[in-house]
Structure 1
Amino acid sequence: MLNRTQNIQQKTNAKESTEKLNKKMKETWSSLGDGNIKHTSSLVRCWHRKLLYQKIKRRH
């Protein structure tokens, strides 16, 4: 039971940090201009891949 609540807590924490990061990135890129949208999406993809990798690693 404790493990389950910890899991939920981790998920909410991850979600919050994702939202914070997305907000931060949006602000950064909007200040730099629209020319960097492609670069942003690749960065986000890279970041998500890293996050997924960490989750998988934690599971084992």
Structure 2
Amino acid sequence: MVVRAWRALVETVRIRRERSRARDQLAAMSERELLDCGMTRAEIAYELHKPRRRK
């Protein structure tokens, strides 16, 4: 039971780090790169300011 809880915690931390890196990459993109991805600066701002606990 302890091992299962530990694995769940490790997985949660891994996912949060992955999402944090993705947000950092989005924030660093140029307008041209965002257009290529089909995203706007407003969508990026929404993602960056969204509470961390939300999925």
Q: How many residues align?
A: 40
- Which structure exhibits the higher relative contact order, with contacts defined as CA atoms closer than 8 Å and separated by 6 or more residues? 2
Q: How many Å apart are 1:26 and its aligned residue?
A: 0.5
| Residue ranges of structure 1 left out of the alignment (5+ in a row) | 45-51, 53-60
TM normalised by structure 2 equals 0.58
The answer for the alignment partner of 1:47 in structure 2 is: none
4+ residue runs over 4 A deviation: none
| Correspondence 1:39 to 2:11 | no
Identity of aligned residues (%): 3
Q: Which one has the bigger helix percentage?
A: 1
